[in-house]
Amino acid sequence: MTDASFDADLDADLDTALDAVLDAPLPTFAILARFREGAPSEDLAIDAVRRRLVDKGVTADTVTLERQDDDGTWLVVARVVTVSIDAHTAVAGIVEDLTAAGLVPDEVWVQRQIA
């Protein structure tokens, strides 16, 4: 086998492997982001968080109340679905997107892998 044919075979093998990786679907994750909201009621807290997300172009499929802190602050959780190479990268990406949009979450974590 000549060097040229070896290189061609290696390039073909690498192209095949790369195609397989690129064609593989990325996993989908449900990510939860908690926000603190100082609204006068539960409903207003949920609406305020939902409105801030929508205004910044962040799509959350659910926004729900987690609880009210002792100081009266509402803890509201938004669920965002995203694709990523792994759970850690998914969380980091959501934190980066939210922070860049001026929406600094109190905490962000993976709820579960969907697919």
pLDDT in tens, 64-91: 999 999 999 999 999 999 999 999 999 9
The CA distances from residue 28 to 25, 52, 55, 93, 114, in Å, are: 9, 24, 24, 13, 5
> Nearest Cα to 101, choosing from 68, 60, 47?
60
Helices vs. strands in the chain: H and E counts, helices first: 3, 4
pLDDT at 107: 96
% of residues, the chain, pLDDT over 70? 79
Report the CATH architecture of 28-113. 2-Layer Sandwich (3.30)
User: CA-to-CA distance for 65 and 35, rounded, in angstroms?
Assistant: 10
How high is the mean pLDDT of the chain? 88
Count of C-beta atoms within a 10 Å radius of residue 97: 16
pTM of the model: 0.77
